[in-house]
Every structure is written in C-alpha cells, then in structure tokens.
Amino acid sequence: MQGNRNLIFLLFFVFQIINAQSEDNLYEVVYNKSNKTLYGNSLTSELSVVLTFNDSVYKYRNTVKDSIDNWQYKIPGFKENVLGSYTIGNLKKNKQFHVRKSCLNSGKVIVVDSIPKIQWTIHKDKKQILNLECIKATGIYRGRPIVAYFTESIPMAVGPYKILGLPGLILEMNSTDGDFIYTAVSLKSNVKLSTIFFKIPTDLYRMTSYRSELACIEKRSSNRLKIARARMLNKVKEYNKSFINEQISEDVKAVSNVNSLELIYEWETEDEEKK
C-alpha cells in the first residue's frame, strides 16, 4: 500500500517537472481569415486562427467552432469535418505535422509535410499593421501568387498557414486573386506555455505523408461526386439531362480546388520532369 502511494507521488512529481518546462520567447498572433467557398462566396465572419511561435517551433490552430475548415460542402454525400485540427512546425528540421481527421474516417492522423520554400521578392512598399512597420514581399506558394507584409521588429520567419521564410513575422497575407486573405488582429509577446503544447502526438496517431493523404482525399471526393451525380440524375428525369451533366461537371472542377491555397505540388513538377 505504501509502495503504491510512493509510486503515485513520484509520477505526480515527474509530471509537475515536465509540465513546468516551457518554451522560451514565445509570441502569439491572431489572424482573421477569409477565403472563397465552393460557390465563390467569401466567408469573413469571425474566422480566426492562432499562430503560437518562437524562432524554432510554431503551432497553428483554429479558434472558432464554425470555421471554414469545418464548413460542410453543399453537395449531396460530400462532407468533411476537420474540427480540432492543428499544425506543429519545426523550423530547424524543415518539417510540419498536421494533426487532422483521417480521410478514411478512421480517427485522427498526423500528416507530415515539408515546409515549402518560397522564392520571395522584397519591395520598398511599407505600411503599418498593429503599430508595427511592415514591408511588402511577393512570391509564389505552390502555384499561387501571394503578397505578404512582414515586420523586422519580430525577426522570426513565420506566418499564417504554411507561408514562411521571410526575415520577420508575416502580419498580412493575401493571394493576388483575392481568394485568400489573412490579417493579424492581435499580437502578444512573452507567452508562457508548457513544452507539451508543442508535442507531436505520435503515441496516439499514425503518421502519413501529405502526398498520400491528398491522394486519398482526391479518391474519396471523386467517389462521392459519382454518387452525387447518380442521385441528382435520378431525381431530374423530367429535366434536361445535358444541362444537369454540364452543371455537375462544373461542380467537379470547383471541388478539386475547394478551400485550397495550393494549386500545384513540388512532386507533380518532379514527376513531369521525369517523363
């Protein structure tokens, strides 16, 4: 009995020591996020994301229940729910780990992706964001042209989503087509958090590559759209089927890029060069 008490006390003591360890020099920035949905509408109502970071690690997560990442697509039989997903990035290892619902609906999974290298061009244009002087930069992120404003006041190469690599914190980012916009609305320094906050839960979930997960999502989406097409056609026998087929075809094209800042991946370019 005494031995059990000693063991419990020891475990509690060890937990307290681990929990007391914290990351140093942490910042936390909140961004308002908006992007166009499947039908081209822009969602701007309190869609916020939080980036917690220092010069070596960052964690990016949603803060609202009804976020764009949890939006239910308005196509029969096609729904995705990744509420509670988050990304942990390691700048020194050039890796990021996205914890999200598996495309197979078999619980959560850790999706491993490299941190994309963006070829930035820094301009002379400047503006104030959150009372900090920010400098304009342009680049192309996985096929999509983007504009960012970063501040040298916080010389850490982080930003929203996977937009990284500038010599300072990115406080604003938008795609040049206006489909995606991130704007910083608050910034805190000297944030105190346990190192556990940045722990990658490899003991809880299996790991898979980003490429494999995208292939799985594409396959499932294709299967669901085939089911949706069949259901719709069965219900509109009195309608002009050529029109319906044309409309569904447009929906298929739209779904392939729904809610994605990424248009092309580096492995697609590599595969094309090998041909």
Secondary structure (H, E, C), 64-116: CCCCHHHCCCCECCECCCCCCCEEEEECCCCEEEEEEECCCCCCEEEEEEECC
The number of residues making up the chain comes to 275
30 is written with which tokens?
Answer: 């909140």
Please work out, in degrees rounded to the nearest 5, the angle formed at the alpha carbon of residue 47 by the alpha carbons of 42 and 48: 140
**Cα dihedral across residues 154, 155, 157, 163: positive or negative:** positive
Low-confidence ranges of the chain (pLDDT < 70): 1-24, 37-47, 63-84, 221-259, 269-275
pLDDT for residue 87: 93
Tell me, which fold does domain 21-275 have in CATH? outer membrane lipoprotein receptor (LolB), chain A (2.50.20)
pLDDT for residue 116: 86
pTM for the predicted model, two decimal places: 0.72
pLDDT for residue 268: 81
One-letter identity of residue 218: E
Residue with tokens 């979930």: 205
pLDDT for residue 179: 84
Nearest 10 degrees: Cα torsion 68, 59, 165, 95: -100
Q: At 164, is the secondary structure helix, strand, or coil?
A: coil
pLDDT for residue 47: 60
